Structure 1
Amino acid sequence: MKKNLLLTLGTLVSIAISMPVFSKTNIKVGHGAADTYHMHKAWVKFKEIVEKESNQEITVDIFPNGQVGGDRELTEAVQSGIVDMTSPVVEVMSGWDNAFTVPGLPYIFPNREGALKALYGEFGNKLLEKAQNFGLEGLGWMENGIRNITSNVNCPITKPGDLKGVKIRTMQVDAHMDAFKAMGAKPTPMSFNEVYSALQQGVIDAEENPLGHIYSSHFYEVQKCVTLSGHVYSTHMVLANPDFYNGLSETNRALVNSALKRAIDYQQEVIAKEEQEQINAIRAAGVTVTELTPEQSAVFEKVVAPVREKYTEAVDPELIKALESVKN
């Protein structure tokens, strides 16, 4: 662990030192996703808009694929100013405040549309404001995706009982692990970069991720079935270093905000186009893809309801009130 930490710090320092000194504004963005993933494509769109509309007065350098570290390391790098912006899965922030657990609770949102409405309303704004308590500026939300289950055993998975005893990789998120325990599975948290080899070698039987990750990271190549369980809407929280963000001129800050909004809208266009193509490609590879019926989904939701209630009861009631107002 100490060695890995030193390596990560060394990477951060080397990037900071090796970056050229600009008389103009340079924005360093880091994230952990593959450069084929729709979230990376959103950052590329952000870069294109900012550089074009500033006439190259602002340049953007993007470090994808976890080059600078995982979500936690990147968040800390933004806090310290080594990186200017990042977009971790929001659950990473739960280490500072358990309110950030709420968006990633199982079946907390009815669907993607409901999730976006909540995140870009009072509920999401309250969470973005909380980031300021931890030396971060919350600027918006990029989609990670709707999480689904893949497996090599008990295929197809159509009910919670099919997961009994299944070793499934999850993120290091207590709520996610509790949910899969409630289904009878054996949740096994591990780094995202280790998942493919762990599936290939049989260290784990299954994993759960959005379609974009399942496809772009080729998990389907070492899995027999995919269940479109849609158990969690997973979102990235866009964060900036406050000194960097507040140090921008009013014009440049407005451009960053505008470019980010347009990049996020673009991401939704990419997702809409890619998802069906990804399902078709996964099926063409010989993998069984199962879409749950509303009745089957209701069984999963019922099993994990106590987990959802446990975590929502532990946070500010006003936050939950803001969330519920969107559903009504």
Structure 2
Amino acid sequence: MYLTRRTFGRTILAAGVAATVPVAARAQAAKYRLRYGTAFPNNHPGVVRIIEASEAIKAGTNGLVDLQVYPNSQLGSEADMFAQTRSGALDFMSTSGVNQTLVPVGGINAVAFAFESYAQVWAAMDGQLGDHVRQSFAKVGLHVFPKCLDNGYRNITSSVKPIVSPEDLKGFKIRVPGNPLWVTLFKTLGAAPTPINFGELYAALQTHIVDGEENPMALIRSAKLYEVQKFISLSGHIWDGHHIFANMPKWTGLPEEVRTVVTAALTAAAEKERADILRFNEEAITEIKATGVAFNQVDTKPFRDALHAGGFYGEWKAKFGAEAWALMEKYVGTL
């Protein structure tokens, strides 16, 4: 694989991650056993980099912290893991859309066709918009780390026909994550959105419970969704990121020097994962095309026009609130 574990570990340690743990702590071993859950498949960069971060954390604390990573929905669906993290049954997890049911503004990055480039994405999410979201989660007992993982721009796949225009979505049964923004988006475009947990998606496509789905290329590749689809429309309709969450009481209960090490390692992991995703997506398109799946580009203007006409943007501006919406438009322009 293109990631080098030893090189990553050396980079983290060279950056000073290990230097903050006092001598007294170094004499102990695995005093803090922490669990991290994710729906990402084993070979996804969002898993590989977090595993590397866990190794850097162990080294940086001289074995004091053991962060155990559970990929591929081993600990339940994203909604389950999110609830577990909030209750304290789970220590860490990463996700995007399911958190919107608790903190609506947590889904503001998924406003359709808002972010036209990664330059806009990272300026906003590492900046004031991201700060606003992170502070909102803190109010409900969740610590959010300063850098989120890149899940990529989402694209529509289909087993029945290419999706080229809004008319192609009329009556189209499409799997969506279980949150209101995605459901509203595709209902406004005339589709029949069906919430299904990611761990059950491959089987739902294989048995034609749904006609298609929408996900970033990295996930379409790593979960092998292309095996049960015929068409991929490069719509890029949503930019999707995974916040890394920690249970707030558990997080604040850790010694400050341990929190410093963990934050540094997860920040470095997120930054490297973002670069991985760009490369992973390019490789995915080449690899999937070779299997015979048909790709098509999408003119996004008719989709945006349909969303404007259907009141999508006005509805979500009201739900997210004027302050959050203004922060987003500071980076993307008027929607």
- State the TM-score bracket (shorter-chain normalisation): 0.7 to 0.9
Measured in 2, the distance between the counterparts of 1:77 and 1:43 equals 19
C-alpha contact 1:102 1:108 (8 A) present in aligned 2: no
Aligned partner of 2:316 in structure 1 is: 311
Alignment of 1:49-88 (within 5 A): 49-88=56-95
Alignment of 1:26-65 (within 5 A): 26-65=33-72
Measured in 2, the distance between the counterparts of 1:129 and 1:179 equals 26
Aligned partner of 2:32 in structure 1 is: 25
Aligned partner of 1:17 in structure 2 is: none
Deviation at 1:161, TM superposition (A): 1.0
Aligned partner of 1:301 in structure 2 is: 304
The TM-score, its normalising length taken from structure 2, stands at 0.86
User: Structure 1 residues 48, 308: CA separation in 2 closer, same or farther (over 3 Å shift)?
Assistant: farther
Aligned partner of 1:203 in structure 2 is: 209
Measured in 1, the distance between the counterparts of 2:112 and 2:329 equals 15
Aligned partner of 2:227 in structure 1 is: 221
Query: Please, which runs of 5 or more residues in structure 2 have no aligned partner?
Result: 1-28
Off by >3 Å, runs of 4+ in structure 1: none
Moved more, 49-58 or 210-219: 49-58
Q: Deviations over 1:284-321 (max 9, x none)?
A: 000001123xxx11222222233122112222312122
Measured in 1, the distance between the counterparts of 2:178 and 2:251 equals 29
Q: Deviations over 1:241-271 (max 9, x none)?
A: 1122112222111111111110001101211
C-alpha contact 1:101 1:311 (8 A) present in aligned 2: no
Moved more, 92-101 or 235-244: 92-101
Deviation at 1:23, TM superposition (A): 5.4
Matched, 1:108 2:114: yes
SS at match of 1:59: strand
Aligned partner of 1:325 in structure 2 is: 330
Matched, 1:240 2:243: no
SS at match of 2:215: strand
Measured in 2, the distance between the counterparts of 1:29 and 1:50 equals 13
Moved more, 303-312 or 218-227: 303-312
Deviation at 1:40, TM superposition (A): 1.0
Q: Which amino acid aligns with 1:100?
A: G
Matched, 1:97 2:103: yes
Deviation at 1:30, TM superposition (A): 1.0
Query: Please, which runs of 5 or more residues in structure 1 have no aligned partner?
Result: 1-21
Aligned partner of 2:22 in structure 1 is: none
Deviation at 1:62, TM superposition (A): 0.7
Aligned partner of 1:167 in structure 2 is: 173
Q: What percent identity do the matched residue pairs reach?
A: 28
Aligned partner of 1:16 in structure 2 is: none
User: Structure 1 residues 23, 64: CA separation in 2 closer, same or farther (over 3 Å shift)?
Assistant: closer
Q: Which amino acid aligns with 1:59?
A: D
Moved more, 171-180 or 276-285: 171-180
Moved more, 69-78 or 23-32: 23-32
Measured in 2, the distance between the counterparts of 1:214 and 1:220 equals 6
Measured in 1, the distance between the counterparts of 2:224 and 2:67 equals 28
